Amino acid sequence: MDNTGYLQINVTDNENIPIENAKIKLTYEGRPEDVVKNLSTNSSGQTENVELEAPPVTLSRTEDNIVQPYAEYAIVVEAPEYEPLDISGIEILSTANALQNVKLTRAFRGEEGNNIVIPAHTLYGYYPPKIAEAEIKPMNETGEIVLSRVVVPETIVVHDGSPSDSTAKDYYVSYTDYIKNVASSEIYATWSDATITANVLAIMSFTLNRVYTEWYRNKGYNFTITSSTAYDHKWIYGRNIFDNISQIVDEIFDQYISRPEVRQPILTQYCDGKRVKCPNWLSQWGSKDLGDRGYSPIEILRYYYGDDVYINTAEAISGIPASWPGYNLTVGSKGDKVRQMQEQLDTIASVYNSIPRIATDGIYGSGTKAAVEAFQGLFGLPKSGVVDFKTWYKISQIYVGITRIAELN
């Protein structure tokens, strides 16, 4: 299995509604005539999980980047009444599950789908190194620190270019999707969970510093962050993500890195540690080595940023109807939190019909458990039948996406 990766494709429209029976032609990158497989989507807009050839897993676990450590594939997605969409450069790593999300636009609305070309991974291709900044922004500059508490935003506005590039497009991306995209673009999913977690925490802390300080808005720009590696992190429009990275982000998305007596998340800058050296910043390849040696995520972070850093939790999550109750919901649970979850899950089930409809009675019975398990399986979470932290907020996120579109219509 060291030469095999996996790919699942999820197809929705621009209103987050799954598209059934979309037809997908999967080919090798640069060889459109060489069809690997023809696929179609089920009622949830998903294909089967396809097994694909990939380079040996050792290539993504060593610093030698002479040989590309991932295979590249392309897809053409078609569905009646929708514009077809081509995506090329889909990265497949040995042993890793890749997830490719596809959004199709309605043909009868006169909208055109933009074909997507995914560029090289940052650890393999060349991208400008980070321009150094102070990790903590001064508190005494008028108007710079504008938020009274650290809040996880519902949406990040990503400027797809350098800050001064007025031709670059702005994209509105959910916070968790942004973090998953950046992590999949900047580290390899074949690394240890401890290393991935440490890097995800660094990405989130950096991002929340930009949010907390309103860094770009205070410079006259109307976006949160850029996709330029010289200024921020590499975010790639339309790229595939990886299942294990996605699950780690869902588990810890409300966390960031702090220092004592400092309110703002620290600006956790980093570099690859091979082509670019960055003393006192996290080294991506170095963090990989530490994870292999058994270091925990916080030990990896303290190795680079100092012994006084610690993992903090945001005080609020914007755009979510109500916060996590603070305990797991399972069979036998009762009350308003169960009812709230049931109402949201049943609304989702009205769109994703592979999830059983449930009564919203505030009692967590076998029917609710079955619906939770179906939801978890559909959205890449462990099928425990228990509404834990990550399941609670995934239900809320999907519910908000569906109901907000309904309200706009």
111 falls in which pLDDT band (50, 70, 90)? low
50-53 and 4-13 beta bridge pairing: antiparallel
Q: What is the pLDDT of residues 276-313, one digit of tens each?
A: 999 999 999 999 999 999 999 999 999 999 999 999 99
User: Where do we find the tokens 């043909």?
Assistant: 107
What does the pLDDT read at residue 148?
65
User: CA 372, 373, 376, 377 torsion: positive or negative?
Assistant: negative
136 falls in which pLDDT band (50, 70, 90)? confident
Q: How far apart are CA 143 and CA 213, in angstroms?
A: 9
Instruction: Dig out the tokens for 95 from the structure.
Output: 């042993």
Mean of the pLDDT values across residues 121-125? 96
Task: Answer yes or no: are the C-beta atoms of 333 and 320 closer than 8 Å.
Answer: no
User: CA 380, 385, 389, 391 torsion: positive or negative?
Assistant: positive
Q: What is the pLDDT of residues 203-214, one digit of tens each?
A: 999 999 999 988
pLDDT, mean over the chain: 92
Task: Answer yes or no: are the C-beta atoms of 226 and 163 closer than 8 Å.
Answer: yes
Mean of the pLDDT values across residues 400-404? 77
Q: Where are the beta strands (DSSP E) in 250-290?
A: 255-258, 270-271, 282-283
Residue 327 contacts by C-beta under 8 Å, 6 or more apart in sequence? none
Q: Which helix (H) or strand (E) holds 35?
A: strand 31-40
Whether the per-residue pLDDT at 386 is higher than 50: the answer is yes
Name the phi and psi angles at 41, rounded to 5.
-95, 150
Q: What is the pLDDT of residues 20-37, one digit of tens each?
A: 999 999 999 988 889 999
Mean of the pLDDT values across residues 43-66? 94
What percentage of the chain carries pLDDT values higher than 70? 93
User: Where do we find the tokens 């309605």?
Assistant: 106
Q: How far apart are CA 79 and CA 91, in angstroms?
A: 24
137 falls in which pLDDT band (50, 70, 90)? confident
What does the pLDDT read at residue 408?
38
What does the pLDDT read at residue 140?
47
Whether the per-residue pLDDT at 404 is higher than 50: the answer is yes
Q: What is the pLDDT of residues 315-352, one digit of tens each?
A: 877 766 556 888 999 999 999 999 999 999 999 999 99
Q: Is residue 190 classed exposed, middle or buried when 0-12, 13-18 and 19+ CB atoms within 10 A define those classes? A: buried
Instruction: Dig out the tokens for 205 from the structure.
Output: 């802390």
What does the pLDDT read at residue 289?
98
Q: How far apart are CA 46 and CA 380, in angstroms?
A: 12
Q: What is the pLDDT of residues 354-373, one digit of tens each?
A: 999 999 999 999 999 999 99
Whether the per-residue pLDDT at 139 is higher than 60: the answer is no
- Which residue intervals of the chain bear CATH 2.60.40.1120? 4-117
User: CA 177, 296, 259, 255 torsion: positive or negative?
Assistant: positive
Instruction: Dig out the tokens for 42 from the structure.
Output: 């089920």
What does the pLDDT read at residue 1?
58
Range with lowest mean pLDDT among 14-28, 98-112, 214-228, 291-305: 98-112
Q: What is the value of pTM for the model shown?
A: 0.90
Whether the per-residue pLDDT at 406 is higher than 60: the answer is no
- Residue of 226, 222, 215, 217 lying closest to 135 (CA atoms): 215
Q: What is the pLDDT of residues 146-204, one digit of tens each?
A: 456 788 998 999 999 999 999 999 999 999 999 999 999 999 999 999 999 999 999 99
What does the pLDDT read at residue 383?
94
Instruction: Dig out the tokens for 6 from the structure.
Output: 């996996």
* Helix (H) and strand (E) counts in the chain: 8, 18
Mean of the pLDDT values across residues 90-105? 97
What does the pLDDT read at residue 75?
97
Q: Which helix (H) or strand (E) holds 90?
A: strand 85-92
Instruction: Dig out the tokens for 247 from the structure.
Output: 């699950």
User: Where do we find the tokens 């975010």?
Assistant: 235
Residue 384 CB coordination number (10 Å): 14
Q: Which helix (H) or strand (E) holds 196?
A: helix 193-213
User: CA 112, 153, 245, 20 torsion: positive or negative?
Assistant: negative
Residue 45 contacts by C-beta under 8 Å, 6 or more apart in sequence? 10, 11, 12, 18, 19, 20, 22
Residue 351 has, within 13 A of its CA and on its CB side, a CA count of: 22
CATH pick for 4-117 out of 2.60.40.1120, 3.40.228.10, 3.40.190.10, 3.90.1150.10 = 2.60.40.1120
Task: Answer yes or no: are the C-beta atoms of 157 and 207 closer than 8 Å.
Answer: no
Angle (deg, nearest 10), helices 284-292 and 193-213: 140
Q: What is the pLDDT of residues 224-252, one digit of tens each?
A: 999 999 999 999 999 999 999 999 999 99
Mean of the pLDDT values across residues 78-84? 94
Residues in the chain, total? 409
What does the pLDDT read at residue 14?
85
What does the pLDDT read at residue 397?
85
Whether the per-residue pLDDT at 78 is higher than 90: the answer is yes
- Residue of 36, 10, 33 lying closest to 22 (CA atoms): 10
Q: Taking CA 238 as the corner, what is the angle to CA 237 and CA 240, rounded to the nearest 5 degrees?
A: 120
